[in-house]
Amino acid sequence: MYNEKLEALITAALADGVLTDKEKNLLFKKAEAMGIDRDEFELVLEGRLAKRKKEMEAQAPQAAKPAKKEGAIPQELDDLIKEYLTDGIISTKERQVLLNKAQALGLNVDEVDLYIDAQQQKADQAVAAAMNKRRGKTCPYCGSSVPELTDKCPNCGSNITPEASEELEDIFEHLESALVNFKSGEDVEKNKAEVERYVRKARMYYGNNPKIQRLLDEVETESEAAKVDAKKRFWLDLIRRNKQIVIIVVGFIGLAVFCFTVYYLLSPDRAYNNALKEVEATTEQVVDMINDGNFKGAKSKLSTLSFAVVEGSDHKFVTITDFDGAYLALIKAYIKADDLDNAEEVGAAYMGKIDNEMTWQDTSCYKTLKKEFKKRSRDFSALKSQYDYDD
């Protein structure tokens, strides 16, 4: 029915009368690559699997053991697979060694690859079963482990029923579907309402479960991103429908920008404005580094920062304290990571650059560090201003 290579893979996958998810997905990929209709192929697989099971049932009384895939794999190769699985995982390098050996023995490499996948999946299932047995059930309401043969959660006291777990799965299926539709940009308001409805339901009934809380936070983040995308699409559609008006508006904006640029270049406050831009750029760079988890880079950026006071008109000044937001962002990030040593180092470096204890005392960094150190009973004397008379 299909080409020789695909038929060989199907035969190998069905040899033990069981078609695992991994085997099925691999066969689907091969079939789709050959342009075979997925639904039709799935029906053929189900039919052949049923036929194979009947054959094995008919052979069972006549043989000591049913046919196994192992029969198609030489014993030395099978032993090597089992040896590699002693740690529970066949690495990429180990798999390549096995496939090279299979090729050297004249075996079908794709068939052996499928067999390796099946053995890995069996090992994974055995480990998962052992872990589940040790861990028992999981409470859908609070996420705590529930011992086997127990129908009541020892942590939150809720009754554990199959219906509760099924309801939670149902909520997530609908939530995922609604979120996909929302992100597609079709019927935005309706799909947004669907997402919010299932989020509320999950939070109301299962909000104490930490995993649910984290998942819902991620869903809400994606939902916010989808809202932003929807707004972008709205404006793009509006622009496409009103091209001439947009061209005129853009022309006016361009003219305004040009006039502003000329005014700015001729302004006596050029140095002052450049200094403000430097503050904004540096703060943006530091925040981006923090968001990327590069605390060390952000710390280095602020440690090497050198800035002189810049005066503008009307007695306006840009000083080192205008970088307070950048220093505060890094200090808070270290505090959140429970790394008070680095938070103190950043604070000390900032205090040294200010070189005025009264000014240092008025910064947000000073107040945040003092509050957090007091909360954690940590010595604040190295950072404390001599003008701070409060404990």
Spatial distance between the Cα atoms of 316 and 318, rounded to a whole number of angstroms:
7
**Distances, alpha carbon 302 to alpha carbons 89, 276, 286, 306, 346, in Å:** 45, 16, 8, 9, 8
Dihedral over Cα of 272, 277, 282, 284: its sign: positive
Tell me, what's the pLDDT at 374? 92
pLDDT band at 71 (very low <50, low <70, confident <90, very high): very low
CA quadruple 207, 210, 212, 218: dihedral, nearest 10? 110
- Cα angle, residue 336 at apex, residues 333 and 337 outer, rounded to 5°: 90
Give residue 321's identity as a one-letter amino acid code: T
> Is pLDDT above 60 for 197?
yes
List pLDDT tens digits, range 360-387. 999 999 999 999 999 999 999 999 999 9
pLDDT(7) > 50: yes
**pLDDT, tens digit, 9 for 90 and up, residues 49-70:** 888 888 888 776 544 444 344 4
DSSP single-letter state for residue 63: S
User: Checking phi first, is residue 19 left (phi over 0); if not, alpha (psi -120 to 50) or beta?
Assistant: beta
pLDDT digits (tens, 9 = 90+) for 228-279: 776 776 666 766 777 777 688 788 898 888 777 766 655 557 777 888 899 9
Give the phi and the psi of residue 286 in degrees, each rounded to 5. -65, -45
Q: Is 199 a residue whose pLDDT tops 70?
A: yes
User: Would you say residue 122 has pLDDT above 90?
Assistant: no
Name the percent of the chain lying above pLDDT 70.
76
Three-class DSSP category at 103: helix
DSSP state of 391: -
Nearby residues of 29 by Cβ (< 8 Å), 6 or more positions away: none
In whole numbers, what is the pLDDT of the chain averaged over residues? 79
Flag the least confident range among 34-48, 59-73, 331-345: 59-73
- Say if residues 192 and 182 touch (Cβ distance below 8 Å): yes
User: Closest Cα to residue 370, out of 359, 358, 382?
Assistant: 382
Rounded distance between C-alpha atoms, residue 73 and residue 81, angstroms: 10
Q: Do residues 373 and 379 lie in contact, with contact meaning Cβ atoms separated by under 8 Å?
A: yes
Q: What is the DSSP letter of 65?
A: S
pLDDT in tens, 282-323: 999 999 999 999 999 999 999 888 777 877 766 778 898 999
The dihedral over CA atoms of 377, 382, 385, 391, expressed in degrees to the nearest 10, equals 20
Provide the token pair at 12: 């190998």
Which residue is listed with tokens 């009541």? 152
CA 95-98-104 angle, to 5 degrees, is: 145
pTM passes above 0.75:
no
Question: Is the predicted pLDDT of residue 324 greater than 80, yes or no?
Answer: yes
